Chain A
Amino acid sequence: MGVIAESQFRSLVEQHQSMVYSIALRIAGDRGAAEEIAQDAFLELHAALKKMESEDHVRFWLRRVTANRATDWLRRKAVRPDWSAEQFDETYEAAIVERVGGAEVRLEQMVANLPTTLRGAIVLRYQEDLEPDEIAQVLGQPVATVKSNLQRGLGLLRRKADVMLKEFKRERVG
């Protein structure tokens, strides 16, 4: 137990910051919240360093804590009256357009609009390349639930993509 020294903490942050920030951003859908969630995840890691048994353990732990914190943030936002859904979509979509130039329809934008229950599984599957049983461990859900959420999420994304593609073609033909 405790194979990771405190002096290694900064290099752990630098090694995993992109993973942690990306998970937080894609689940929470808000850049400010993603930074806060990611920072909190690393500070929790710092407090739990003695419990870390290996690099793999750190990676798994960070994914789980970040996904949980981002989902908690979404739940809190859902009950917070001063926060509007339009503001959420515009903020994140503006960030995506800023990054990719907005030239084409991005599936990332559609993922940001998926229901919360499906978003975590889709992000961990296609951003982190995790298998359903690994996602189940990270999210603390049964494998069957994860598989079902992945299928439902993919189905929704494909339908949205089809609709957008048809609209795009109609605009070009028109």
Chain B
Amino acid sequence: MSELDDFEARLERDLRRVDVPEGFADRVMQRVPAAKQGRLLSFPMAVTKARHWMAVAAVLLVAVVLGFGVHHVEQVEHQRQLQEQEQAKARKAAEQFALAMQVTGRTLFVVQQRIDSAGTKTSR
């Protein structure tokens, strides 16, 4: 072996793994339940809570969007009905006006005829 190899071999010997202090595994296992309730699982729990709130927020958002959508559709339908009612009123008014004009025209025609016949009688 070269000098460096000897040195490295000695380094490996000196850096062998050491034994853990007695009761190490027990102390780790004692901390596991505490960790479940506390710090170590706080991250996953936080993630779970965050996911829960994100789901609630998503549901609320969808509900709000749907609510606005339904409201908008109802508004559009209401406007359309109002427009139809206005148009029907306008048509009815136009028909009434046309009828009134017809009546008026006929009346004027009758009056004119009477005036004409009265004039003829007078001139005789």
Contacts and interface: CB of A to CB of B under 8 A. Distances in A.
B14 A18 contact: no
Interface in A59-114: 99, 106-108, 111
A26 B24 contact: no
A17 B8 contact: no
B7 A43 contact: no
Contact of B20 (A38, A43, A129): A38
A35 B17 contact: no
Size category of the binding interface on chain B: 20 to 34
A35 B31 contact: no
A46 B32 contact: yes
Contacts of A127: 12, 15-17
Given A14-B25, A126-B12, A161-B7, A43 B17 contact: no
A107 B40 contact: no
B99 interface: no
A18 B43 CA distance: 28
Interface in A106-131: 106-108, 111, 122-123, 126-127, 129
Contacts of B14: 106-108, 111
Contacts of B18: 18, 21-22, 25, 99
Given A17-B24, A35-B24, A47 B41 contact: yes
Interface SS of chain A: helix, strand, loop or mixed?
helix
Interface SS of chain B: helix, strand, loop or mixed?
helix
A10 interface: yes
Contacts of B20: 17-18, 21, 35, 38
Contact of A107 (B11, B24, B27, B32): B11
B19 A18 contact: yes
A152 to B, nearest CB: 14
A107 B7 CA distance: 9
Interface of A: 9-10, 13-14, 17-19, 21-22, 25-26, 31, 35, 38-39, 42-44, 46-47, 99, 106-108, 111, 122-123, 126-127, 129, 154, 157-158, 161
12 contacts: A9-B32, A19-B17, A21-B18, A21-B21, A25-B18, A43-B28, A99-B18, A107-B10, A107-B14, A123-B15, A127-B12, A129-B12
- For the complex of A and B, list the 3 residue pairs with the smallest distance between their C-beta atoms, beginning with the closest: A107-B14, A127-B15, A22-B17
